[in-house]
Amino acid sequence: MFASPEYIGAGRMLRRKSMVDTRGITTRSSDLFEWSLALRDGAPRLAAVATDVVTAKAVPLTDFADATDLADSVIASSQLPLAGGLPVTVRGRRWLDGGLIEAVPVASAAALGATHAIVLVTRPFGTAPSYGPADRVIERYLRRVNPELGDLYRSRPDRYRSTVAEMRAGSYAGVQTLTFAPGADDPIPGRTETHVDLLRAARDAAVATATRRLAEAGLV
Axis-axis angle for helices 22-33, 67-77 (nearest 10): 130
pLDDT, residue 165, reads 97
Helix, coil or strand: residue 97: strand
pLDDT, residue 132, reads 93
pLDDT, residue 72, reads 96
CA 179 to chain centre: 16
Q: What are phi and psi of 13, to 5 degrees?
A: -70, -30
Helix, coil or strand: residue 176: strand
Report the distance separating Cα 57 and Cα 75, nearest Å: 17
Report the distance separating Cα 141 and Cα 139, nearest Å: 5
pLDDT, residue 1, reads 58
Q: In what order do the strands lie in the sheet with 93-97?
A: 57-61, 48-52, 93-97, 88-90
pLDDT digits (tens, 9 = 90+) for 171-197: 999 999 999 999 889 999 887 788 889
pLDDT, residue 35, reads 86
* Greatest distance between any 2 Cα atoms in the chain: 51
140-150: b (≥16 Cβ within 10 Å) or e: eebeebbebbb
Q: What are phi and psi of 96, to 5 degrees?
A: -135, 175
pLDDT, residue 3, reads 65
User: Residue 147: which region, alpha, beta or left (left: phi > 0; alpha: psi -120 to 50)?
Assistant: alpha
User: Residue 155: which region, alpha, beta or left (left: phi > 0; alpha: psi -120 to 50)?
Assistant: alpha
pLDDT, residue 94, reads 98
Number of H helices, E strands in the chain: 8, 7
| Percent composition of the chain: helix, strand, coil (DSSP 3-state, to 5) | 45, 15, 40
Report the distance separating Cα 100 and Cα 55, nearest Å: 13
Residues of the chain predicted below pLDDT 70: 1-3
